[in-house]
Amino acid sequence: MALQQRQPVFTRRLFIPEVTPGSDTGITTAYVMWQAGKPGFMHNQPVLVVPNYTGDRQTVGKVWGMRRAEGADSLNFDFLFNARIDKVFFGSGNYSRPGGGATTLHRMSYSAGSLNGPGTSQLEDQFLEATAKYVRNRFIMVDSLGFKSDYQGGVKRSISFKGIGEQPQLTSITSAPTSATVTDDSLSQNPTDCFNGLFFVNALAAVPEDFSINLGNGISVTPVGYNNGAGGSVIFDKLAGPGSLKLMMVLGGTNPESELTFYNWANARTVIPLEVWHFDKPTGGAWTKYSRYRYAVVFEEKPPTSAGGEKDLYTEQHFELWPNYSWSGDIVAPAPGPYTLPATPNLGVKVDGGSTITVALTAGSQTAAQIATALNASGPFTAVAVADSPAGTLRITSKTTGTTSSIQIDGAVANTAHTAIGFNTVAQAGFTNCSVIHDYLNGVGSNL
């Protein structure tokens, strides 16, 4: 028998969220990871040379240290698999389902002082899939999530992993964990380009030439070797998120833009909300899925390059996540208009837990912009909330911030229009001291 000298090519990588860290127990699904570049994940087990005392004689022995596994992948962007990998990155304690689980909206958020650490997963590289041979690494954490969007036509995510790489295997038994189903839900959901999106800086619409952010858990793996065993630690830090933003500037007109806006924000250490949306279809079309990312950031101080600010076509600014920011409660309809409203329709809204504000709407086909106009024309409503229509859908936002800020639809008013619009009746609250919110409307009606 000849010694095998050639490593078969790995043909597929699976991502497997763990229920019990380092164990296959409770796992039900493994997800295919569609690579957008050359994968760079690997594992190793160091051999350590240590002194070994026997009586009064010192010899030198070898022990095997803790397995380590780390690396990075570049992935296509989608609304299903990316939501699942986000949940592992943020941890199940930072995962929720706005709407009480009655919708397909999923949310990951991170608040200052959060003790909910990242979850763990398994990575499995397969080759010769017909015979189901693979190498699997357990207890792997998602160390960083890199998100890059540019208007040249592309949205990518870079994912880095770290962990102890416990029990890698080379086997010919089943290719997935016990009782697991292999699911491929990524490639067909990949948006064609990033023009299917919206971008806001400090609640103002903007046109970014380039936007990137790299969220990091700061995971550190420390192996310790000793005779007849191995040990170590895997620890994580507070969430960090450096990034950059390159904006197209308006140079003409009565209100030309300049870098001074960002310089003043940076100099005053003003916390600025950034918001980026991506849809599975153009924003003016009948989209069915979206991702909505919100970040509280502080820009780095960068003196303007000329008097009065930079007079160039673009300005590039760098920023870092800021932990102390309060967000308003809001509710977003799950589909774009127009909506077919019933006869003599009304919409009842409770803002910040207050009494119902009833606004009369117009029967028949109504766009989100038309409904928003009717709401904003109501004095009682506009005193406490504001309505708008991003990407053709209806959004209602409280004018207060924090956990006491909320929007709730009252479905008990006469001739209610909320069902036609797609609103649920669960209160949607804001956040206090929260730096990151990731929302996915992805058609998944159960917990990720």
- Say what the pTM is: 0.89
Q: Could you tell me if residue 2 is inside a domain?
A: no
pLDDT tens, position by position, 248-284: 776 666 666 677 788 888 889 999 999 999 888 877 7
Is residue 447 situated within a structural domain? no
Q: Is residue 295 part of a domain?
A: yes
User: One digit per residue, pLDDT tens: the chain, 448 residues?
Assistant: 666 555 556 777 888 999 888 888 888 888 888 877 777 777 777 776 666 555 555 555 666 666 778 888 888 788 888 899 999 999 999 999 987 777 899 999 998 766 678 999 988 887 765 556 677 888 899 999 998 876 655 677 889 998 887 665 555 444 556 567 787 766 555 544 455 788 899 998 887 888 899 999 998 887 665 555 556 678 888 889 999 988 877 666 666 667 778 888 888 999 999 999 988 887 777 889 999 999 999 999 876 666 555 555 777 889 999 988 999 999 999 999 999 999 999 999 999 999 999 999 999 999 999 999 999 999 999 999 999 999 999 999 999 999 999 999 999 999 999 999 999 999 999 999 999 999 999 988 899 8
Q: Are residues 228 and 351 in the same domain?
A: no
Residues 261 and 386 in one domain: no
| Domain-located, residue 309 | yes
Residue 192: its pLDDT value, please? 46
Residues 299 and 360 in one domain: no
Residues 279 and 371 in one domain: no
**Is the same domain home to 375 and 320?**
no
Interatomic CA distance for residues 193 and 108, integer angstroms: 24
Per-residue H/E/C for the chain: CCCCCCCCCCCEEEEEECCCCCCCCCCCEEEECCECCCCEEEEECCEEEEEEEECCEEEEEEEECCCEEEEEEEEECCCCHHHHHHHHHHCHHHEECCCCCCCCEEEEEEECCCCCCCCCEEEEEEECHHHCEEEEEEEEEEEEEEEEEECCCEEEEEEEEEEEEECCCCECCCCCCCCCEEECCCHHHCCCCCCCEEEEECCEECCEEEEEEEEECCCEEEEEEECCEEEEEEECCCCECCEEEEEECCCCCCCCCCCHHHHHHHHCCCCEEEEEEEECCCCCCCCCCEEEEEEEEEECCCCCCCCCCCCCCEEEEEEEECCCCCECCEEECCCCCCEEECCCCEEEEEECCCCEEEEECCCEEECHHHHHHHHHCCHHHHCCEEEECHHHCCEEEECCCCCCCEEEEECCCCCECHHHHCCCCCCEECECCEEEEEEEECCCCCCC
181 in a structural domain: yes
Indicate whether 214 and 318 sit together in one domain: yes
Residues 310 and 245 both lie in one domain: yes
Q: Is the residue at 21 inside a domain?
A: yes
Does a structural domain hold residue 260? yes
Query: Are 332 and 304 in a shared domain?
Result: no
| Count: domains in the chain | 2
Verify that 209 and 286 share a domain, yes or no: yes
Could you tell me if residue 38 is inside a domain?
A: yes
Q: Are residues 50 and 199 in the same domain?
A: yes
Residues 291 and 147 in one domain: yes
Rounded Cα distance between 184 and 174, Å, is 17
d(CA 420, CA 367): 12
Residue range of the domain that includes 107: 12-327+431-441
Same domain for 250 and 205, yes or no, is: yes
Q: Angle at CA 12, nearest 5°, toward 166 and 20?
A: 35
Q: For residue 424, what is the domain's CATH number?
A: 2.60.40
CA-to-CA distance for 13 and 22, rounded, in angstroms? 18
